[in-house]
Amino acid sequence: MGAAFAGTVSKNLLEGPHVHRNLSTPQLVEAAIARGEASLASNGALVALTGARTGRSPRDKFLVKDELTESRVDWGKVNQPFSPDRFAALLERVERHMQERDRYVLDLYAGADPHYRLPISVVAEYAWHALFVKQLFVRPDAAELAEHVAEFTVIAAPEFEAVPERDGTTSSTFIITDFKRRIVLIGGTKYAGEMKKSIFGVMNYLLPERDVFPMHCSANIGADGQTALFFGLSGTGKTTLSADPNRRLIGDDEHGWGERGVFNFEGGCYAKCVDLSEQKEPQIYHAIRFGAVLENVVIDPRTGEPDYEDIRYTENTRAAYPVEFIENAVVPGMGGQPANVLFLAADAFGVLPPIARLTPDQAMYHFLSGYTAKLAGTEAGLGSEPVPEFSTCFASPFLPLAPKVYAAMLGERLRQYRAQCWLVNTGWTGGVFGVGKRMSLPHTRALVTAALDGSLADAEYTTEQAFGLSIPTSCPGVPPELLNPRNAWPDKATYDRQAIALAARFEANFARFDAPAAVRAAGPHARR
């Protein structure tokens, strides 16, 4: 991603008899099993447990604060500062720890587009971590490997635990990015997703300077060559709706949008496995085979078969596999300029319409809001009512820069390439969660299909009053009474009260943003 930059990683970490560099998939599988790190499931996938840390550790994530980052990073609870001196001392201790052990080094890329990709190296203490990154990032061919010079290095030392009083961390776990040294330092956690998401944060920092908009979204492409983007938080249906058998998958999670179009940051997928079945998600189910990695999935000791319904370790069970394991994947993961952008929200309050057409200002408002709703019982401490969740730009934990930077890039691209943005409610209709009913998946698919194939472009539209959204009055395959959410509620006065309450929550959340007046005015108003 520019001039070659080898970073400041000690050569002792990358060379020597304990270094195993760019091993093949079978070699890494064999090493992980021989070392007792993992086992094989009956479908051929490598199965590993991550112990106490079964997900990301956001409170243990830091950025080194120095002359490069001091004025550029949006410092706060997400981007916690770490001193350069303490990082240097911790790095030295981690390197000493790693030099005494076998190390698995992988040379890879972040970014499918050769014009924007970032050459990276990962130094892993575990063989199964090395296999994980091999499948998740973009794998160079032999010619590319011969010329590969890492511009960023990830050091993953799960067996090294920090001492907070000595090291300046909040716990024994740490995930620290130093943009001057171009190193990500990870320790005290076996959860492999930290490696993937750390590089996503790096791309979110580097790419805006190159006029590339980094996005936490999935992307696919239709037979007509039209690219679509799907943004949405967990539980909104992003994976389900983007994995369309009639469209080809570019990628399932991280992308860039530049003057050459859209490109996947990754060479693989990191899919949730809870309740996975061949019937519900056949593409993902069949992608889990030899070469894939299963995290925290329970294996039947008699048959060796994965039990995706058993969540004794965590509900956050995961599968990592190369994107080409998906039958209709686009390799390399690149597409043209998007024609449609979809924001997915599982609105448990039953207020948002099934689909709405957004102006660029409305799109920037809802992008900054990043709304969905958590349901009672899904997280400890939640009561009987739904709880609104706002994740800035649908990617709050991974944004090193101010949110307005990313929102402005979205607005510019929607206008420049005349892409249409849609807000899609995959949540509830006819009442709140527990009273109304969940949107029918066939109806949601029909709405998404109509948006992507252009059918909704010719529909008549009306403005609903609660959020000022433009909604179609008809759509093939969808009952007209569902399109206006107020009409779907038996008690219209109850809907009005619920709509005002949700609009007020949007307003309260949005008050923290530095947004242009036109964008602020494009949102809901509690007294509209």
For 164-205, write each residue's pLDDT tens digit. Answer: 999 999 999 999 999 999 999 999 999 999 999 999 999 999
> Among 212, 227, 259, where does a domain finish?
212
CB neighbour list of residue 266: distance below 8 Å, 6 or more residues apart: 110, 112, 136, 137, 138, 196, 251, 253, 254, 323, 333
- As a whole number of angstroms, the distance between CA 466 and CA 483 comes to 14
* Closest CA relative to residue 60, chosen from 234, 149, 193, 176: 176
501 belongs to a structural domain: yes
Mind listing the pLDDT tens digit for each residue in 104-162?
A: 999 999 999 999 999 999 999 999 999 999 999 999 999 999 999 999 999 999 999 99
Look at residue 4 and tell me whether its pLDDT is greater than 90. no
SS3 160: coil
Phi, psi of 442, rounded to the nearest 5 degrees? -60, -40
Percent of the chain scoring above 70 in pLDDT: 96
Task: Specify the pLDDT at position 235.
Answer: 84
Task: Specify the pLDDT at position 526.
Answer: 64
pTM for the model: 0.93
456 belongs to a structural domain: yes
Task: Specify the pLDDT at position 379.
Answer: 40
Look at residue 101 and tell me whether its pLDDT is greater than 50. yes
Task: Specify the pLDDT at position 375.
Answer: 74
Question: Which domain CATH number covers 378?
Answer: 3.90.228.20
Q: Are 399 and 216 in contact (CB under 8 A)?
A: no
Count of structural domains within the chain? 2
381 belongs to a structural domain: yes
Look at residue 266 and tell me whether its pLDDT is greater than 60. yes
33 belongs to a structural domain: yes
77 belongs to a structural domain: yes
> Among 184, 212, 240, where does a domain finish?
212
Task: Specify the pLDDT at position 16.
Answer: 86
Average pLDDT value for residue range 455-468: 93
11 burial via Cβ count (<10 Å: 0-12, 13-18, 19+) = exposed
> Among 196, 212, 228, where does a domain finish?
212
240 belongs to a structural domain: no
| Strand 80-82 to 61-64 pairing | parallel
Look at residue 66 and tell me whether its pLDDT is greater than 50. yes
- Catalogue the active-site residues: 56, 197, 216, 234, 238-239, 253, 318
Question: Which domain CATH number covers 108?
Answer: 3.40.449.10
The average confidence (pLDDT) of the chain is 94
Q: Hey, what are 3's tokens?
A: 């001039």
pLDDT confidence tier of residue 10, bands split at 50, 70 and 90 = confident
332 belongs to a structural domain: no
Q: What secondary structure does DSSP assign to 292-321, as a single string? A: -EEES-EE-TTT--EETT--SS-S--EEEE
146 belongs to a structural domain: yes
Task: Specify the pLDDT at position 234.
Answer: 85
Look at residue 528 and tell me whether its pLDDT is greater than 70. no
Q: Which domain holds residue 482?
A: 348-521
